Amino acid sequence: MMKMARVILEVHAGVLPGVPMEEYGKRWVLSREEWDADADLVITEALEYAKSLIDPAYVNWVRYEWIWL
């Protein structure tokens, strides 16, 4: 049985406002069971990735988003 996505976390970054660059994007898609088991780890991983992109030598903005489905 295929698990339904329950939460999606995304990190995007870019130079031009609102225009994400593919090389700086990452997405985590989790089922309810995965979220219940690993929420703290996934949140930490996504936030650490977003923090690692905060460098004006490479990008001008970083966005961290999550959506609960």
| Dist. CA 12–CA 21, nearest whole Å | 7
At residue 52 the predicted structure's pLDDT band, cuts being 50, 70 and 90, is: very high
Quote the pTM value. 0.88
| CA-wise closest residue to 7 among 23, 28, 37, 22 | 28
- Whether 1 shows a pLDDT value over 80: the answer reads no
pLDDT of residue 5: 85
At residue 4 the predicted structure's pLDDT band, cuts being 50, 70 and 90, is: confident
How many folded domains does the chain comprise? 1
- Whether 2 shows a pLDDT value over 70: the answer reads no
- Structural domain including 32 reads 5-68
At residue 33 the predicted structure's pLDDT band, cuts being 50, 70 and 90, is: very high
